[in-house]
Amino acid sequence: MPIAPEHLALLYTGPFDAYLYGRNSRDPKMKGSSVDDQMHEGREICNDNGWPIKREFTDVGRSASRYAKRERKEFEEMIAGIEAGDCRILVAWEASRYYRDLEVYVRLRNVCMQAGVLLCYNGTVYDLSKRADRKATAQDALQAEDEAEGIRDRNLRTARLNAKAGMPHGRILWGYARRYDPDTGDLVEQYPHPERAAVVTSIFERIAAGETEYSILQTLRAKGDRLPGLRWENHHLRSMLRNPSYKGSRVFQGAELGEAKWPGLVDAETYEAVQAIIKRPERRTMGSSEIVHLLSGLSRCGECPTAPPLRVLKCRGYKAYQCSEKFDTVMREEKLDAYVEEAVIEWLQSKAPAAAFASEDGQRKVEAARLRHAQMQAQLDEARAKAAKFGPDGKPKLSIESLAALETSLLPLIEEARAQAGVLVGVPPVLRGIIGRSDVDAIWHNMSLEQRRSVLRTVVDIRLMKARAQGVRTIEPGRIRLTFVGEPGFIGWRPGPVLRRLADEPETESR
Ligand SMILES: [Zn+2]
């Protein structure tokens, strides 16, 4: 029976002097490097099992007829060596290397059988003096004609060797470019693509900063196609964000094999931060492409007592927000979006948010700091005035030394109080840098959909009411009820329907 190379020494006595045989691939895409790969793999098998390499035979350019003569010579030399008992085992790449045709196989079989030489290929050792092994190799010889299968195996092995050596293999990774040797066609290096590499880096950084795949996808699409004629899709991002090759690790069949020969586009820290984010369960359930509307799920039906969220539905050819429960309220998407955005921008520009977010306790502290600041400032002003005034004795009413001492102790305290007095207490992070600015409009338009939604979620409660009558196109007063944070009746956002009835809502009789 065929045996594994590592068991050979248990069943046979050595030494196992080896012949290595490599042959150029017929696959034109493999270029000239595969003979080296074969020899490399063969040497590895020999070294792993302690088989001394007696001689190496490499055939190159098999397909070119002018080499055919030389190749035959190499092959004949190998046969002669085997016959002479120069080796104990013949290590080759795969069956198809030996028997491109059955005639060659029969010759090789007979010579190995007579000389008692073992045959090793495809990671298995065959003893051709045994019937079962002859049968197995004969089958392999027949199958060797199945060129496609042979090439598939070979490519897999090449991929594994490349991965081991830290070289890239397979399709080029988006964000990189490759340089090939103009003569041999061999891959020389994989390097960051002059334009695309920065895109990859920013995608990782934006995810690490908390942005969603969806919003990144929007930006990418706005900038252009991923490849000419192929737009960016969510799955591109998904596989990119999970690919350790981008931090400069080589990967083979899902396993990281260490440092690659190409530079990473993302540092390991950012990469790990991204892994932690994309593995969060809520991220998986909340499909990143689900949210495409500003107010879906954030606005609620004002007619139903449980205030179910509005969902976007196609309605007579246009998209509209609708009550997700009774479908009793409906408004065109752009209309509701525009109304809410305008109102929220106006509110953000007003003084209302600062007041809303200063908690009572915080407000008291701010007030106290303002008072303290004013008192100390007055004290210092008074001292300075005194120091500038001179008494009848011709001396300043306050000595320069005293003023200096007072300034030294007061100035830091004044500075501290000023800082405390100016602080907005309890402003959620999402609103920092927005509140109280006069250019909220511009800021808003530069925000991503996600950022806008988090602002809305934080500051406003949106209820859609029924229209007075069918066909009323304008937004009549009371049609959209906005309750901002700090106003009575504001309910913070939470998913699903609001089960608690609002205090100011009229009681609805249950029947
Ligand atoms: Zn409803």
Chain segment 83-94, per-residue pLDDT in tens: 888 999 998 765
Give me ligand 1 centre to Cα 482, in Å. 16
pLDDT computed for residue 4 by the predictor: 79
Give me ligand 1 centre to Cα 466, in Å. 9
pLDDT computed for residue 286 by the predictor: 42
> Measured between alpha carbons, how far apart are the two ends of the chain, in Å?
83
Same domain? 270 vs 332: no
Same domain? 98 vs 224: no
pLDDT surpassing 70 at residue 288: no
Distance CA 74, CA 12 (A): 29
Helix-then-strand count for the chain, H and E: 18, 15
Give me ligand 1 centre to Cα 487, in Å. 23
Give me ligand 1 centre to Cα 316, in Å. 19
> Ranked by mean pLDDT, which of 31-45, 266-280, 343-357, 365-379 comes out on top?
343-357
Same domain? 134 vs 232: no
Give me ligand 1 centre to Cα 306, in Å. 8
Asked if 427 contacts 357 with a C-beta cutoff of 8 angstroms, the reply is yes
What percent of the chain clears pLDDT 90, i.e. is strictly above it? 14
Eight-state DSSP code of residue 227: B
Same domain? 390 vs 374: yes
Give me ligand 1 centre to Cα 298, in Å. 14
Same domain? 416 vs 434: no
Give me ligand 1 centre to Cα 330, in Å. 9
Burial class of 337 by CB neighbour count within 10 A (0 to 12, 13 to 18, 19+): middle
Which whole-number Å values give the CA distances from 117 to 85, 356, 495, in the listed order?
A: 8, 90, 74
Q: Please report the beta strands in 291-339, taking only residues with DSSP state E, as ranges in sequence order.
A: 299-301, 310-315, 318-323, 330-332
Give me ligand 1 centre to Cα 463, in Å. 10
Give me ligand 1 centre to Cα 444, in Å. 30
Give me ligand 1 centre to Cα 121, in Å. 72
Asked if 291 contacts 479 with a C-beta cutoff of 8 angstroms, the reply is no
Mean pLDDT of the chain: 77
List phi, psi (to 5°) of 77.
-65, -40
* 402: confidence class by pLDDT, cuts 50, 70, 90: confident
Same domain? 304 vs 443: yes
Give me ligand 1 centre to Cα 475, in Å. 18
pLDDT surpassing 60 at residue 508: no
Q: Is 23 helix (H, G, I), strand (E, B) or coil?
A: strand
User: What domain range includes position 77?
Assistant: 5-164
Closest to 273 in 3D by CA, of 205, 362, 198, 195: 205
Give me ligand 1 centre to Cα 87, in Å. 87
Does 171 reside within a domain?
no
pLDDT computed for residue 461 by the predictor: 92
Q: Where is pLDDT greater, at 150 or 45? A: 45
What angle in degrees, to the nearest 10, is found between the helix axes of 213-223 and 196-208?
Answer: 160
pLDDT computed for residue 92 by the predictor: 77
Give me ligand 1 centre to Cα 285, in Å. 26
Give me ligand 1 centre to Cα 263, in Å. 56
Q: Where is pLDDT greater, at 178 or 37? A: 178
Give me ligand 1 centre to Cα 508, in Å. 14
Same domain? 428 vs 411: no
Q: Report how many domains make up the chain.
A: 4
| Chosen domain end from 242, 266, 285 | 285
pLDDT computed for residue 360 by the predictor: 63
Average pLDDT value for residue range 373-384 = 83
Of 2-6, 263-267, 283-287, 390-394, the least confident? 283-287
Does 296 reside within a domain?
yes
pLDDT computed for residue 154 by the predictor: 63
Give me ligand 1 centre to Cα 343, in Å. 23
Give me ligand 1 centre to Cα 303, in Å. 5
List phi, psi (to 5°) of 318.
-125, 165
Give me ligand 1 centre to Cα 502, in Å. 15
Give me ligand 1 centre to Cα 356, in Å. 29
Does 184 reside within a domain?
no
pLDDT computed for residue 200 by the predictor: 95
pLDDT computed for residue 169 by the predictor: 67
Give me ligand 1 centre to Cα 289, in Å. 25
pLDDT surpassing 60 at residue 206: yes
The structure's pTM equals 0.35
Give me ligand 1 centre to Cα 296, in Å. 14
Give me ligand 1 centre to Cα 311, in Å. 11
Q: Which residue in the block uniquely carries the two structure tokens 């799920």? A: 297
Does 173 reside within a domain?
no
| Chosen domain end from 229, 258, 285 | 285
- 479-507: pLDDT as tens digits: 999 999 878 777 765 555 554 434 333 43
Same domain? 461 vs 349: yes
Average pLDDT value for residue range 158-178 = 75
Same domain? 478 vs 330: yes
Same domain? 159 vs 10: yes
**Token duo for residue 380:** 């210092």
Same domain? 433 vs 328: yes
pLDDT computed for residue 138 by the predictor: 75
* 159: confidence class by pLDDT, cuts 50, 70, 90: low
Give me ligand 1 centre to Cα 60, in Å. 77
Give me ligand 1 centre to Cα 302, in Å. 7
Q: Where is pLDDT greater, at 441 or 278? A: 441
Q: Where is pLDDT greater, at 296 or 99? A: 296
Same domain? 321 vs 459: yes
Backbone angle region of 173, left / alpha / beta, with phi > 0 → left and psi within -120 to 50 → alpha: beta
Residue 143: CATH number of its domain: 3.40.50.1390
Give me ligand 1 centre to Cα 324, in Å. 7
Give me ligand 1 centre to Cα 315, in Å. 16
Residue 214: CATH number of its domain: 3.90.1750.20
Helix/strand/coil percent split, the chain, to 5 = 50, 15, 35
pLDDT surpassing 50 at residue 81: yes
| Chosen domain end from 129, 164, 199 | 164
